[in-house]
């Protein structure tokens, strides 16, 4: 809360402009695009978990739902603008319904985890068993395990022939991430965001103050799902194919790992965690000495044990202690992660 809103926006814009300019010089834009998309996906969970205290084991469900919605809509509609909008709306509505069911049922922590996990599994199993010709939505075959290839990819709005791909697509994704990031910043600075943090800290108290906790959590959950859905649609455009793997528990696990490693309760942490680990995975694919899963697992265990706040907060407090601007006592603050669900 130290900086004013306009400072925050300026810093974000300057830093992201630098990154968008510099990074393509080091990493190919095609790979960068997916890192940006994963960053957005990480941010979606970082928002609801880090600021809303909702630990969702099924963020991949919204990601997959966004991707599939886009693919199916794009096959049926052709022009990509409406499919993009649908890909944001469908996961948001789905999450609102699911969230309302959970939060008005006063389900918290582990139970919330089980439900989100189970819903993801159901979606995965359903999509995975739609190989038969009877599973058709409009002109789109769901395709089961093999997924849906060959849909219309992103085009300049209004001109279905003008595809946006390659380097321009990277810039579209990067700018989308910056916009989402700024929206999240604005949301967190607003009363809604501060109330969400209050709910994360103490749900009962916020209820006793007169806040409808279930409604607010439902809305936040839906916002997170909308961001994940947007990331899913961008991913579908990038990969030009959607498969049930998008819904898998492995995918959900990765999102959670990104958030832990990057740092919860920060906006930047999940993005850094997502992009960093996805790049690490990409690099590890080019060697065969050590198993990739092993590395990811070790990273998660070590972070939970030794750096439970994640990289970004740790680096920030390190910088603070070196270039300490204020004489405030270092606060041994440990966020009570998801204690209230």
Write out the binding residues for another protein, residues 24-53 only, by CB under 8 A.
26, 28, 30-31, 34
Any idea which residue has 């789905």 for tokens?
A: 94
- Contacts with another protein in 140-199 (CB under 8 A)? 143-147, 149-150, 191, 194-195, 197-198
* Nearest approach, Cβ of residue 180 and another protein (Å): 20
Are the beta carbons of 304 and 72 closer than 8 angstroms?
no
Binding region for another protein (CB under 8 A) out of 11-19, 58-66, 103-111, 226-234 = 103-111
- Contacts with another protein in 280-309 (CB under 8 A)? 281-302, 304-305, 308
Which of 8, 2, 115 has the alpha carbon at shortest distance from 56? 115
**Using rule CB under 8 A, residue 314 touches another protein:** no
For 13-69, the DSSP string reads: HHHHHHHHHHHHHHS-HHHHHHHHHHHHHHHHHIIIIIIT----TTHHHHHHHHHHH
Member of 122, 175, 183, 319 binding another protein (CB under 8 A):
122
Alpha-carbon gap, residue 239 to 255, rounded angstroms? 18
DSSP 3-state of 99: helix
**Using rule CB under 8 A, residue 3 touches another protein:** no
* Nearest approach, Cβ of residue 204 and another protein (Å): 6
- Contacts with another protein in 207-236 (CB under 8 A)? 207-213, 235
**Using rule CB under 8 A, residue 95 touches another protein:** no
Which of 47, 54, 45 has the alpha carbon at shortest distance from 217? 54
**Using rule CB under 8 A, residue 135 touches another protein:** no
DSSP 3-state of 293: helix
Member of 10, 14, 15, 106 binding another protein (CB under 8 A):
106
For 212-273, the DSSP string reads: -HHHHHHHHHHHHHHHHHHHHHHHHHHHSEE-GGGGSHHHHHHHHHHHHHH-TT-SHHHHHH
* Nearest approach, Cβ of residue 13 and another protein (Å): 25
Nearer to another protein, 76 or 89 (CB): 76
Q: How many residues does the chain have?
A: 341
Binding region for another protein (CB under 8 A) out of 85-93, 176-184, 223-231, 245-253 = 245-253
Member of 109, 140, 186, 314 binding another protein (CB under 8 A):
109
* Nearest approach, Cβ of residue 30 and another protein (Å): 4
Distances (CA, A) of 283 to 27, 31, 280: 11, 11, 5
- Contacts with another protein in 49-88 (CB under 8 A)? 55
């Amino acid at each position: 809360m130290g900086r004013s809103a306009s400072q925050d926006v300026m810093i974000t814009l300057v830093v992201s402009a630098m990154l968008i300019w510099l990074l393509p010089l080091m990493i190919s834009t095609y790979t960068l695009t997916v890192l940006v998309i994963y960053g957005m996906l990480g941010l979606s969970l970082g928002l609801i978990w880090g600021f809303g205290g909702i630990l969702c084991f099924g963020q991949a469900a919204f990601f997959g739902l966004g991707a599939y919605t886009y693919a199916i809509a794009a096959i049926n509609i052709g022009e990509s603008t409406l499919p993009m909008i649908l890909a944001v709306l469908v996961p948001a509505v789905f999450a609102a319904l699911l969230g309302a069911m959970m939060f008005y049922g006063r389900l918290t922590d582990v139970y919330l985890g089980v439900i989100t996990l189970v819903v993801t599994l159901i979606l995965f199993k359903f999509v995975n068993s739609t190989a038969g010709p009877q599973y058709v939505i409009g002109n789109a075959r769901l395709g089961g395990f093999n997924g849906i290839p060959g849909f219309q990819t992103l085009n300049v709005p209004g001109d279905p022939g003008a595809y946006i791909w390659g380097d321009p697509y990277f810039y579209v994704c990067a700018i989308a991430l910056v916009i989402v990031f700024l929206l999240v910043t604005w949301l967190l600075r607003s009363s809604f965001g501060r109330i969400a943090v209050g709910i994360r800290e103490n749900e009962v108290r916020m209820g006793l103050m007169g806040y409808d906790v279930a409604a607010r959590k439902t809305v936040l959950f839906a916002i997170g799902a909308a961001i994940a859905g947007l990331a899913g649609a961008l991913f579908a455009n990038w990969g030009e194919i959607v498969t049930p793997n998008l819904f898998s528990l492995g995918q959900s696990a990765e999102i959670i790992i990104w958030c832990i490693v990057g740092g919860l309760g920060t906006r930047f942490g999940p993005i850094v965690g997502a992009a960093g680990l996805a790049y690490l995975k990409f690099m590890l694919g080019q060697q065969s000495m050590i198993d990739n899963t092993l590395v990811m697992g070790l990273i998660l265990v070590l972070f939970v044990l030794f750096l439970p706040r994640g990289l970004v907060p740790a680096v920030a407090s390190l910088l603070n202690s070196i270039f300490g601007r204020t004489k405030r006592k270092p606060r041994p603050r440990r966020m009570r992660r998801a204690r209230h669900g």
